[in-house]
Structure 1
Amino acid sequence: MSEAATQRSNFRFFHRLRVRWAEVDMQKIVFNAHYLMYFDTAISDYWRALALPYEEAMHALGGDLYVRKATIDFRASARMDDMLDMGVRCARIGNSSMVFEGGLFRQDQFLVGCELVYVFADPATQTSKPVPAALREVLTGYEAGETMSTVETGDWATLGGGAGALRRAVFIEEQNIPEAMEWDAQDAVVLHAVARNRIGQVIATGRLLAAENGVSHIGRMAVHRNLRSGGHGAAVMQVLEDAARARGDSVVALNAQRSAERFYARLGYVPHGDGFEEAGIPHIEMRRSLLPSSSQ
């Protein structure tokens, strides 16, 4: 572990947790074995920060990661109920190996460091393979402060393959919505948006229907289940709202699942009318004005 890992300012990514009773020993400090669990949990969130759903991404890249070495550097102890921030960064990438450094901080105080060496390998034989260029670019790009996803718009012929696969996974397989209810004639004529990660996987999607009396409608909003709360849905919403505003619409509406109501409220949407059920799922219509504040 390098001395750089002892400085909070050298990390772009942090995972936060509070020490639980079950994680402390008789001295009321964190039992040493739990620190590896902490860093492993942080690594999982690091992949989410890269906009990579781990299992699917590794399959697309033709390999998987295996821990070759893990070392812990104890400097000070974490205690029961401490709020901790775990910094993770990719420090080096070799031919087939990657070195991740972790720093555990209580506010600005460095407590524990970790170095994890992973090898990219063939899952069938567990023999090492070169780190794919696409993965190398994702890791170096993230550490350089670059964005990990982009949003594009287009028609169903252009974007339907990726958008449809994600909608199937979210609505039909995860939420058990009947397939006959998911697909309709609107797909062929409306504007679609998809968010892609740096290796080209579709991680969020939505569509913008034609406006009626100045009110446009956003629908079929879906985000990969492993990447929710990462800002990808909000990015798709922003692009669709911009498209509605550009064509002169004054209000945008959507039928929000009640479980997602707070997400849309944070984006400025307010309930409109009474709740209802669709496909057995509680919904509420929500609306947001697209006019400048001075025009409302």
Structure 2
Amino acid sequence: MTEATATPQRKDFRFFHRLRVRWAEVDMQKIVFNAHYLMYFDTAIGDYWRAMALPYEEAMHSLSGDLYVRKATIDFRGSARMDDTIDVGMRCARIGNSSMVFEGALFRQGQFLVGCELVYVFADPATQTSKSVPTVLRDALMGFEAGEPMRTVETGNWDTLGEGAGALRRAVFIEEQNIPKELEWDAHDAVVLHAVARNRVGQVIATGRLLPAEDGVSHIGRVAVHRNLRGGGHGAAVMKALEEAAHARGDRVVALNAQRSAESFYARLGYLPQGDGFEEAGIPHIEMRRTLR
């Protein structure tokens, strides 16, 4: 930590990663083996990037660099034990020209147990020589710590949004779910309304489209979220933008064909199942609808 005498407080952090101590992490003293604490903090850093809506590997590739640990310091004040639920707070405390300092604190309920300081250097992956931290990454980190939104959502046509939306759909539907490409692309793309969510470095992290209404019922489809960022609210943000567009043009009901694996996601957004399930592209689906107000 920056001041050895200062005891971190939960209020010092806006981001927390929760975990439970496992049997394999406890030593013969029946407390967490000291080396595992660094793993806890490193795991929390991974969730920190997800909270920033950054798929780490792709984001760093787009920024032509990567982060390398320069120094890791652990401050032991107490011990966690088997089956404890602990919260790991992380924050980006400082950013220099090519380095950044993360501070972490591990809490059991309100009790501070272990602190950490991680110094990273932004560098060229090929040569591992330091580079200036890109302004867009610097701004995203400081924005996150200030509580600023980590994504934007825009709607538009395929000419404007198709490159990013298409790349994400290809990754999710064709590459991840093995849907034949001839079933993924159709004539609707050129004429319907599309929505994309972007993170602070400009990557498309979620997308969907709104088809024309028939008898007051519009249809949302091709909803996709980056596989590393699911559960972060990005799909819901795209759905909200498309629903607002449907409501603005006077549609009364929104329908969609939900993959069964995503049924609970749409149910949380107020969609109700209709009729029996069916298969599409070899994947179980169910029609769902929501009345717009």
Please indicate, yes or no, whether the TM-score normalized by the shorter chain is above 0.5.
yes
**So what's the TM-score if we normalise by structure 1?**
0.97
Identity over aligned residues, as a percent?
84
What residue in structure 2 maps to residue 187 of structure 1? 189
What letter corresponds to residue 247 of structure 1 in structure 2?
A: R
- CA–CA separation in structure 1 for the residues paired with 2:100 and 2:134: 11
**Deviation string, structure 1 residues 156-196 (Cα, Å, up to 9, x no partner):** 01000000000000000000000000000000111000000
What letter corresponds to residue 27 of structure 1 in structure 2?
A: Q
Q: What does 1:151-230 align with in structure 2 at a 5 Å threshold?
A: 151-230=153-232
Aligned with 1:69: secondary structure? strand
Aligned with 2:182: secondary structure? helix
Following superposition, the deviation at residue 5 of structure 1 comes to 6.8
Aligned with 1:76: secondary structure? coil
Following superposition, the deviation at residue 6 of structure 1 comes to 1.0
What residue in structure 2 maps to residue 17 of structure 1? 19
- CA–CA separation in structure 2 for the residues paired with 1:5 and 1:65: 28
Does 1:2 pair with 2:7? no
What residue in structure 1 maps to residue 73 of structure 2? 71
What residue in structure 2 maps to residue 233 of structure 1? 235
What residue in structure 1 maps to residue 150 of structure 2? 148
Indicate which of 52, 55, 63 corresponds to 2:54. Answer: 52
What letter corresponds to residue 90 of structure 1 in structure 2?
A: C
- CA–CA separation in structure 2 for the residues paired with 1:264 and 1:28: 44
What residue in structure 2 maps to residue 294 of structure 1? none
What residue in structure 1 maps to residue 107 of structure 2? 105
Aligned with 2:275: secondary structure? coil
Contact 1:5-1:102 at 8 Å conserved across structures: no
Which consecutive segments of 4 or more residues in structure 1 shift more than 4 A?
Answer: none
- CA–CA separation in structure 1 for the residues paired with 2:156 and 2:271: 25
What letter corresponds to residue 62 of structure 2 in structure 1?
A: A
What letter corresponds to residue 22 of structure 2 in structure 1?
A: R
How many residue pairs are counted as aligned between the two chains? 291
Following superposition, the deviation at residue 250 of structure 1 comes to 1.0
- CA–CA separation in structure 2 for the residues paired with 1:11 and 1:17: 16
Following superposition, the deviation at residue 2 of structure 1 comes to 3.1
**So what's the TM-score if we normalise by structure 2?**
0.98
RMSD of the TM alignment (CA)? 0.9
Unaligned 5+ runs, structure 1:
292-296
What letter corresponds to residue 280 of structure 1 in structure 2?
A: G
**Deviation string, structure 1 residues 229-277 (Cα, Å, up to 9, x no partner):** 0110000000101111111111111111111111111111111111000
What residue in structure 2 maps to residue 258 of structure 1? 260
Following superposition, the deviation at residue 104 of structure 1 comes to 0.4
- CA–CA separation in structure 1 for the residues paired with 2:176 and 2:226: 10
Aligned with 2:50: secondary structure? helix
**Deviation string, structure 1 residues 73-103 (Cα, Å, up to 9, x no partner):** 0111111111111111000001100000001
Indicate which of 283, 286, 290 corresponds to 1:284. Answer: 286
What letter corresponds to residue 44 of structure 1 in structure 2?
A: G
More displaced 10-residue stretch of structure 1: 1-10 or 145-154: 1-10
Contact 1:5-1:103 at 8 Å conserved across structures: no
- CA–CA separation in structure 2 for the residues paired with 1:186 and 1:178: 17
Aligned with 1:2: secondary structure? coil
Contact 1:156-1:187 at 8 Å conserved across structures: yes
